[in-house]
Amino acid sequence: MYGFLIAVGVVLLLSIVWMVYRIQTLVSVVKGSDKKVATGSNKVNAFLFLVFLVAIGGLMFWYSIKEFHNYQLPIGSEHGVVTDRLFWVTMAVTGIVFIITHILLFVFPYKYQYKEDRKATFYPENNKLEVIWTAVPAVVLAILVITGWMAWSDITAPAPEKAHVVEIMGYQFAWDIRYPGQDNVLGDHDYRLTSAINPMGIDFTDQNSVDDFPSPVVVIPKGEPVLFKIRARDVLHSVFAPHMRLKMDAVPGMPTRFWFVPTKTTAEMRAELNDPEFVYEIACTEICGRGHNSMRRVIEVVEPEEYQKWLTEQKTFLQMNPALAEGIEVEVKEVAEIQ
Amino acid sequence: MATASVATHDTAHDHHDHEHHDNFVTKYIFTTDHKMIGKQFLLTGIFWAIIGGLLSILFRLQLGFPEMNLEWLRPLLGGWITETGQLDQTFYLALVTMHGTIMVFFVLTAGLSGTFSNFLIPLQIGARDMASGFMNMLSYWFFFVSSVIMFISLFIKTGPAGGGWVVYPPLSALEQAIPGSGLGMTLWLIAMTFFIASSLLGGINYITTVINLRTKGMSFSRLPLTIWAFFLTAVIGLLSFPVLFAAALLLVFDRSFGTSFYLSDIYIGGEALPNTGGSPVLYQHLFWFLGHPEVYIVLLPALGITSEVIATNSRKPIFGYKAMIISMLGITILSFIVWAHHMFVSGMNPFLGSIFMFLTLIIAIPSAVKVFNYLTTLWRGNLIFTPAMLFSIGLVSFFISGGLTGIFLGNSAIDIQLHDTYFVVAHFHLVMGSASFFGMVAGIYHWFPKMFGRMMDARLGYVHFWLTFVGVYMVFFPMHYIGIAGFPRRYYSWTGFEFSNMYTDLNMFVSVAAIITFAAQFIFLFNFFYSMYRGRKATQNPWRSNTLEWTTPIHPGHGNWPGEIPTVYRWPYDYSKPGAKEDFIPQTVPLSATPESNLPHEQELVKLELEIMKEESEALIANEAKES
């Protein structure tokens, strides 16, 4: 019944709109306004551009200022401070251009709307102007690019030798974490060794893998360089740690990396934001299938001492699952058992 | 196209001095008339725009109202609505993918370039038709086949392709990874192959026609900017689409014939695949070698249309005609050497990232020049706000807003954080999606009288513009905020993460704005189809424009001009010339006929012009004498 009433309502509404439309068409024909170059609507449209400028422009600025603390995520890494500064410098430069060009774009229509007694200015070219507005953006952009390039070179430079290595492997639909253990060297892996008990395809015949251990959480020390070694097992994924301003694709068959220095422990950040629930997170930003939006891992930044302590408390892959050692040469097995 | 038939029907009998009678099939279906082919592209493009828009509304429902019970969509979506009344997650990805594919290729490439290049090139350069009418016909019908296949893929059981419109392997190569990579992806690849063939056939034709079939006096320096834009667009397409074909072909091999171009070291579905040595990054390079120029394939025609519409309705010459051409040439060349800015964090060598950052930010310069030139064209004009003019001004606004955010994304250091977030979504929907869409709509409003001999209703046009203009900003501007906040693209839901478990209100607002904006397009559709049959009859030159298409009869037949093709004596932007009686002087008016308004250097040309005219008339008399 409701459906029927709604349908009747819609039909009535449409027919009213239709009638209004027909009437105004006929009126305009009678008035002969369809023969004119510009009708009264011209004034209305010109005025609406001004309204748009003030109303929508005002709305944008009001919301941008009001919501700043919400969309501006806290920064948890050294390079994040740099890239965020670049971001806001660029915002200032483009913001000025945005405002000026839009004022011109919407004020001109109002100011130069059609008047029968006026003639437009024949002004086809001015080379000096063209040169100016080619050169000025070129210089401004050059400055932005060069600062960006310097930051990019630093961020993508090889990681310091002493960086703490963490391996992150993406698969549908989660991340697996592996630490290299005391030797800070990850053991080899081969995707053909992957199985239910060895999801990361670690090659346990490699001496380096003996002390490797997994972790459900990415634990890293504050103030020391951390190197994420990133890979994927099935399709593309992308490691995204928004607070760290960190993003790098995980590519099957091609290991990638990203190093950074965390600057605040999780506890410090909680205190600073007055949010006891705060956690650093990793998400996936490369479409990878059905569970793309559920690839979550938590990063826990701790004090270096605490980190060292945590390292010693972890159980290696082999300790957790001795079955992995099956078929491995005796010496390796012994080493594993000793540990 | 049967719908177009009534409007042009009566005219076929008026102007057919040298025409043989066409039957229905040769006139409306397998036609070789560029105007009819343009209309075919337009109607197919409009069809796809509705589908593409509808898909976006579906996924906006999910993003704005994640709790909503979508049971009422079951008649339409069937099994894609889960038992709890939610949108299926896999289908969500398919929706996003098809929305992108449809909008980029089927609407803004074929619907925009296909329509206006076909319709306007011969009319504005003074040609009877395209260089090859037959190839032109094939171009449409390849597109049609492509459309049919893509459309069918929406309805198959495993769903259409779902790996994003960029269809990166391995996701797009492995059926185990996502169901859409099965038959859906196969159909996607077949459809795109036909699409590429269609684009190439069209592009070759546009280029050949512009180079060879310009009428007498129509030098390159007198071409309207629309034609320059279409010409350069076709050049870009011709050079980049084959690379997409190569990328797709290698993907076909990987999918079906066991090769390893893109696949390596993959363990999926409980088994290790035999492929080794391939690189998914190779695909990205090949794809973006088309993908980035594609942005300009979509944008340049819109900018060309805007140049023409703004000049005409400002009653002023376009400011910096030569600078505009040089800018477009610059964009054309640069568009081929910036592709890897889509791949800063793909794992490619960071040194490449530096190079592409420099190249990318260079392309901002010609874009900036174009904006300043548009603004100066408006300055001290005598502006008439036809719907086309409104949409053109809207385009310039989007081009600025979206272009400026490109400066963030082109900077690789800043892009680390913003890559694949909603900031990118906001950026390209404004600068490429909405700007090009507005260019297309402006073109329809402006050339509708030439297409169908009737006027569209202006007031409905105003309503359509303001709803759409405000609507588009309300949809895409808020996305900047959630982008800065780090919300990733192609997420079915953001509630799984602490950092993105917010802005549900803003997403709801965006969805509501999207629905209203989409609904507003039906005002346009009504206006379009109603005016086609019942619109006010157009005059020959309703916008008092200079270009050649307005010298054809109101209903031009096949061949465009009933008699001789007119000769061109001046550039197309002599608006409000000092001394002239009217505020426009069509290109067909000789300089010798307007001594009162000629500039000093033009006075020199008058002599030359008179000599040529004299020779011609002598030749004509000699010819006639021979014939009799």
Question: A304 in the Ramachandran plot: left (φ > 0), alpha (ψ -120 to 50) or beta?
Answer: alpha
Question: Which residue positions in chain A have pLDDT lower than 70?
Answer: 1, 33-35, 327-339
**Best of B101, B416, B467, B489 to disrupt the A interface by mutation (most A CBs within 10 Å)?**
B416
**Interface residue of B63, B181, B385 to substitute, partner A, most A CBs within 10 Å:** B385
Quote the minimal CA–CA distance from A32 to chain B in Å: 12
* Phi/psi at A86 (5° precision): -55, -45
Q: Using CB atoms, which residue from A148, A194, A256 is nearest to B414? A: A148
DSSP A226: E
Please give the Cα distance from B236 to B207 (Å, whole number).
11
Signed CA dihedral, B38, B44, B46, B52: sign only = negative
- The model's pLDDT over B207-244, given as tens digits with 9 standing for 90+, comes to 999 999 999 999 999 999 999 999 999 999 999 999 99
The Cα A51–Cα B552 span in angstroms is 40
Three-state DSSP class for residue A284: strand
In this complex, is the C-beta atom of A237 within 8 Å of any C-beta atom belonging to chain B?
no
Q: How many CB pairs under 8 A join A and B?
A: 346
Closest-CA distance, A332 to chain B, in angstroms, reads 26
Instruction: Flag if A108 and B414 touch (Cβ within 8 Å).
Output: no
Q: Which residues does chain A have within 8 Å of residue B536's beta carbon, measured at their own beta carbons? A: 29, 34
Question: What residues does A170 pair with on adjacent strands?
Answer: A175, A232
Query: Which amino acid is present at B393?
Result: I
In sequence order, which residues have a C-beta less than 8 Å from that of residue B554 and are 6 or more positions away? B11, B449, B453, B537, B538, B539, B540
How many other CB atoms are there within 10 angstroms of residue B424's CB atom?
21
Cβ contact (<8 Å) for A90 and B380? no
Query: Which segments in chain B show pLDDT lower than 50?
Result: 1-18
- Closest residue to B319, CB basis, from A124, A137, A142: A124
CA gap A301, A263 in Å, rounded: 9
Closest partner residue to A112 (CB to CB) among B93, B364, B378 is: B378
Nearest CA in chain B to A195: B270
ipTM: 0.92
Q: Give phi and psi for A233, each to the nearest 5.
A: -100, -30
Return the pLDDT at B10.
42
Closest-CA residue of chain B to A43:
B385
- B316 contact residues in A (CB cutoff 8 A): 120-123
Contact A286 B420 (CB under 8 A): yes
Residue B378, SS3 per DSSP = helix
Nearest CB neighbour to A144, from listed B373, B411, B416: B411
**How many Å apart are CA B584 and CA B577, to the nearest integer?**
7
Q: Which of B323, B346, B405 sits opposite A249 (nearest CB)?
A: B346
Contacts of A199 (CB under 8 A, 6+ apart): A171, A176, A233
Conformational region of residue B85, where left means phi above 0, alpha means psi within -120 to 50, and beta covers everything else: left
Cross-chain CB nearest to B315 (options A56, A120, A277): A120
Distance from CA of B82 to the nearest CA of A (A): 14
List A232's β-bridge partners, or say none: A170
Please enumerate in sequence order all residues whose Cβ is within 8 A of that of B474, keeping only pairs 6 or more positions apart, or say none.
B509, B510, B513, B517
CA distance A44 to A33: 15
* Buried residues in B584-603 as b, exposed as e (16+ CB within 10 A): bbbbbbbbbebeebbeeebe
Q: Which residues in chain B have their CB less than 8 angstroms from residue A198's CB?
A: none
Give the nearest partner residue to B379 out of A80, A108, A249, using CB atoms. A108
Cβ neighbourhood burial of B620 (10 Å; 0-12, 13-18, 19+): exposed
3-state secondary structure (DSSP) of residue A218: strand
pLDDT in tens, B498-528: 999 999 999 999 999 999 999 999 999 999 9
CA distance A111 to A109: 6
Q: How close A339 gets to chain B, by Cα (Å)?
A: 31
A120 touches chain B (CB under 8 A): yes
Task: Give the CA-trace dihedral at B481, B484, B488, B493, to 10 degrees.
Answer: -40
Token pair in block for residue B242:
């084959």
Q: Is B54 helix (H, G, I), strand (E, B) or coil?
A: helix
Of B552, B606, B514, residue with least CA distance to B53: B514
Give the start-end residues of each E strand in B335-453.
none
- The shortest C-alpha distance from A225 to chain B (Å) reads 18
Q: Calculate the alpha carbon distances from B482 to B265, B343, B426, B500 in Å.
A: 35, 22, 10, 8
Q: How far is B461 from chain A (nearest CA, A)?
A: 11
Name which of A113, A197, A247, A279 to mutate to probe chain B: the one with the most chain B Cβ atoms within 10 A of its Cβ.
A247
* Predicted model pTM: 0.93
Q: What angle do CA B355, B361, B363 make, to 5 degrees?
A: 110
- Give, in order, the Cα–Cα distances in Å from A29 to each of A37, A117, B80, B202, B524: 14, 24, 51, 42, 21
Residues of B in contact with A290 (CB under 8 A): 89-90, 93, 178
Tell which residue, B534, B561, B541, B528, has the closest CA to residue B39.
Answer: B528
Structure tokens belonging to residue B373: 């030139």
The two most distant CA atoms of chain B are separated, in Å, by 90
**Cα separation, A309 vs A311, whole angstroms:** 5
Q: Do B575 and A122 touch (CB under 8 A)?
A: yes
Interface of A with B in 307-336 (CB under 8 A): none
Distance from CA of B309 to the nearest CA of A (A): 14
What's the confidence (pLDDT) of residue B615? 83
pLDDT for A333 equals 53
Q: Of the candidates A122, A249, A291, which has its C-beta nearest B317's C-beta?
A: A122
* Phi-psi region at B578: left, alpha or beta (left = phi > 0; alpha = psi -120 to 50): beta
- Contact criterion met (CB < 8 Å) for B170 and A233: no
| Partner residue facing B414 (CB), from A63, A83, A252 | A83
Asked if B177's CB is within 8 angstroms of A235's CB, the reply is: yes
Nearest one of B207, B67, B12 to B495, comparing CA atoms? B67
Yes or no: say if A90 and B411 are a contact pair by the CB < 8 Å rule: yes
